[in-house]
């Protein structure tokens, strides 16, 4: 496939924070002397006691990661209190409800009061430093208050995405032995209520059988829907916050005190309880937020993720608020009331920086351009993408149609485990190549190795590892340090293994090719899934595609493609032939799909990522063991795929 390059855009009104020369200079410093580099940038947050030690990390043996270890600080203080002097009346959170007529604005002063009151409620109900608090909430400001209230008193939050089932919620409550839950009566998405309190009630019963008894549940009234009430356990948020003081001093936290536990999306298997700590995490989240999005004071910043995912933690709440930004929280979905909603919201709130996922971009691309072009989008300056490889076709659409060639697209590669963005362009510094996450952020040292762990130099295709620590890195798998070592540091000794495949091109740009577990091996040729999928998506009729390998007598593995068509297109044998010819032309005969199944929907995690391991089972005609499907967004999709599979004998 021919690769285009887009030169660095001249920043519109204001100068970009980092140009290419500065990037090169800082990057060199950051890897040559991490102590000095992070020692300096660690000061971007306020410390009650400044650190004297910067970095104390080892990827060998027992694996130990400590940053700023003798520093004392508080995350909620950094996200709120320190801004009060200058920005008390600035809006901290813009909330856009599911219903387009529902919105509100919360200033930093108001945020302070809300967070202090909830922190006092937690304390009054016995929550102490180090206790785990489960947050199971819709996208309402109280979700951010809950996170910040926990961090204010040193409690460790574990957010469970509001779309998860009672079983999934219970599993996470039990795993981290959490006896306190914050939820709401119902959530609201796309006009439909979601029974969060009822799910919580059920989850608590399941957790009890699992040996963990939840003692208190704080309930925020969102819809006013009917719910069951257990007086000895349940607490109305609005009543409780009215009864406590409006001020709560921030707890003094050591840099390495736990901040939160978050379970990974579950794309590859059972989710892992990723533990992040206080100081290094906040330094890294705030620094990446500023430079990756080229955030300037006064910008309106919008990340469409849910706080249930790490993107919501680092780039809706902690990074932006630590930087004193105005962050937009969106309760709804991109297609309600119609597929133009995101762009309507951009215009309504004059959003400058917009950050979303390829799944949303591809879905909206499939709906046609008119939903986009009816809006102005003049306020936009930076566009971001995260979660999966973005196919070049979707990237181009985002850049040309949404951004009107004015806004750099930052394709940010990172993981729940990494706490913040690791590989990404910087607006103003990095020439862009559609589909490439481009270059490492400061302090990040990627390496590619082959299956045996041999280091690959120059332009190469291999397994992506990171060789030294960065402040935002996870510290352990909660309660299971051995699993942490085994999952991330045992495959390639002394390196953090990401689980992702990656290609580095002749310019030193990184291209994530998909999960290593998903790599195709056709007649001895190894291929990432992303490349073949992108070739399919580049056909005019295709909006989304997923490819997997299946046993093939001659080739070892054949390529099975699941293809979702653009709205208004229908699948036919003729189109199959056309798609095969198209992939041959784009990549070559070796990548030609052996089977193509037209699929109205693909199995995705609740965060919108394609679960290829399920598609592989279907392609292999093996439905007995689909594995952990608890993080699947819509199980009905799987039945449809099985019913219409292509290789029935
Ligand atoms: P699990 O680890 O439970 O299987 P998951 O890996 O989907 O779930 P996350 O931490 O949410 O959980 O996702 C991180 C993964 O998402 C990365 O390892 C990578 O595969 C993919 N990813 C994220 N951003 C990008 C990007 N910009 N380009 C390519 N892939 C990306
Ligand atoms: Mg993962």
Beta bridge partners of 462: 502
Residue 357 has pLDDT above 80, yes or no: yes
Rounded CA gap, 306 and 329, in Å? 8
Q: Is the CB of 268 under 6 A from ligand 1?
A: yes
Mean pLDDT of all residues in the chain? 95
pLDDT score of 345: 98
The distance of Cα 448 from the centroid of its chain, to the nearest Å, equals 23
pLDDT score of 34: 98
pTM of the model: 0.95
CA of 610 to the centre of ligand 2 (A): 12
| pLDDT band with cut points at 50, 70 and 90 for residue 591 | very high
pLDDT digits (tens, 9 = 90+) for 107-147: 999 999 999 999 999 999 999 999 999 999 999 999 999 99
pLDDT (mean) for 20-49: 98
* CB-CB contact of 614 with 643 (8 Å): no
Q: Is the CB of 388 under 6 A from ligand 1?
A: yes
Question: Which ligand sits closest to the CA of 263?
Answer: 1
Interface ipTM > 0.95: yes
Q: Single out the residue of 137, 305, 158, 272 nearest to residue 628, CA to CA.
A: 272
Residue 269 has pLDDT above 90, yes or no: no
pLDDT (mean) for 287-303: 98
Run of H or E including 92: strand 91-96
pLDDT score of 271: 85
Q: Give the list of residues 6+ apart from residue 252 with CB closer than 8 angstroms, or none.
A: 48, 49, 72, 74
CA of 267 to the centre of ligand 2 (A): 7
Substitution candidate for ligand 1 out of 416, 472, 607 with most atoms within 8 A of CB: 416
| pLDDT band with cut points at 50, 70 and 90 for residue 13 | low
Residue 265 has pLDDT above 90, yes or no: no
Could you say which DSSP state residue 309 is in?
Answer: S
Run of H or E including 358: helix 358-365
Question: Which ligand sits closest to the CA of 515?
Answer: 1
**If you take atom 18 of ligand 1, which residue's CA is the nearest one?**
415
Atom of ligand 1 nearest to the CA of 267: 4
Output Rg (C-alpha) for the chain, integer angstroms. 24
Percent of the chain past pLDDT 70, that is, above it, reads: 99
Beta strand 258-263 with 156-159 is: parallel
Substitution candidate for ligand 1 out of 415, 498, 519 with most atoms within 8 A of CB: 415
Tokens (6 digits) for 360: 């949303």
Q: How many residues does the chain have?
A: 649
Q: Give yes or no for a cis peptide into 337 (omega within 30° of 0).
A: yes
| pLDDT band with cut points at 50, 70 and 90 for residue 648 | low
Atom of ligand 1 nearest to the CA of 416: 10
Rounded CA gap, 640 and 593, in Å? 21
């Amino acid at each position: 496939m021919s690769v285009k390059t887009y030169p660095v855009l001249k920043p519109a009104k204001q100068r970009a924070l980092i140009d290419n020369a500065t990037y090169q200079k800082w990057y060199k410093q950051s890897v040559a002397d991490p102590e000095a580099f992070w020692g300096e940038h660690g000061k971007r947050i306020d410390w009650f006691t400044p650190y004297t030690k910067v970095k104390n990390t080892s990827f060998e043996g027992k694996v130990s990661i400590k940053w700023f270890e003798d520093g004392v600080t508080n995350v909620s203080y950094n996200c709120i209190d320190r801004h009060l002097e200058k920005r008390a009346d600035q809006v901290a959170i813009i909330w856009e409800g599911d219903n387009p007529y529902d919105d509100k604005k919360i200033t930093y002063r108001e945020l302070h009061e809300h967070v202090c009151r909830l922190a006092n409620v937690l304390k009054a109900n016995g929550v102490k430093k180090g206790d785990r608090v489960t947050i199971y909430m819709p996208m309402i400001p109280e979700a951010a208050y809950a996170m910040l209230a926990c961090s204010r008193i040193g409690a460790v939050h574990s957010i469970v995405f509001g779309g998860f089932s009672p079983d999934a919620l219970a599993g996470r409550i039990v795993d981290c032995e959490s006896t306190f839950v914050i939820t709401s009566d119902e959530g609201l998405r796309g006009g439909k209520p979601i029974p969060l309190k009822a799910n919580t009630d059920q989850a608590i019963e399941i957790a009890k059988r699992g040996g963990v008894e939840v003692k208190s549940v704080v309930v925020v009234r969102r819809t006013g829907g009917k719910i069951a009430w257990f007086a000895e356990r349940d607490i109305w948020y609005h009543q409780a916050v009215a009864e406590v003081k409006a001020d709560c001093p921030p707890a003094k936290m050591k840099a390495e005190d736990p901040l939160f536990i978050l379970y990974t999306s579950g794309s590859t298997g059972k989710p892992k309880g990723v533990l992040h700590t206080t100081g290094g995490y906040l330094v890294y989240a705030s620094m990446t937020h500023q430079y990756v999005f080229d955030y300037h004071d006064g910008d309106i910043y919008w990340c469409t993720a849910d706080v249930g995912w790490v993107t919501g933690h680092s780039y809706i709440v902690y990074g932006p608020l630590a930087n004193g930004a105005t962050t937009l929280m969106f309760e709804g979905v991109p297609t309600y009331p119609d597929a133009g909603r995101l762009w309507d919201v951009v215009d309504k709130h004059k959003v400058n920086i917009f950050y979303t996922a390829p799944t949303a971009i591809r879905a909206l691309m499939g709906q046609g351009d008119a939903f986009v072009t009816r809006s102005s989008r003049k306020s936009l300056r930076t566009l971001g993408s995260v979660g999966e490889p973005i196919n070049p076709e979707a990237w181009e659409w985002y850049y040309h149609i949404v951004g009107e060639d004015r806004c750099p697209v930052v394709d940010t590669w990172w993981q729940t485990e990494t706490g913040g963005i690791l590989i990404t362009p910087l607006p103003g510094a990095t020439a862009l190549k559609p589909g490439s996450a481009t270059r490492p952020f400061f302090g990040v040292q990627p390496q590619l190795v082959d299956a045996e762990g041999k280091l690959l130099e120059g332009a190469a295709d291999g397994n992506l590892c990171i060789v030294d620590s960065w402040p935002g890195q996870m510290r352990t798998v909660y309660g299971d340090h051995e699993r942490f070592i085994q999952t991330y540091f045992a495959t390639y000794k002394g390196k953090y293994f990401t689980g992702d495949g990656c290609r580095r091109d002749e310019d030193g740009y990184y291209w994530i090719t998909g999960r290593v577990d998903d790599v195709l091996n056709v007649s001895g040729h190894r291929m990432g899934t992303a490349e073949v999928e992108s070739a399919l998506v580049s056909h005019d009729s295709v909006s989304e595609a997923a490819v997997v390998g299946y046993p093939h007598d001659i080739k070892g593995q054949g390529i099975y493609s699941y293809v979702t068509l653009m709205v208004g297109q229908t699948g036919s044998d003729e189109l199959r032939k056309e798609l095969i010819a198209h992939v041959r032309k784009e990549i070559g005969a070796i990548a030609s799909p052996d089977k193509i199944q037209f699929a109205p929907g693909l199995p995705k995690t609740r965060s919108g990522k394609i679960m290829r391991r399920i598609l592989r089972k279907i392609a292999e005609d093996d439905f007995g063991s689909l594995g952990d499907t608890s993080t699947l967004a819509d199980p009905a999709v799987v039945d449809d795929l099985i019913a219409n599979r292509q290789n029935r004998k």
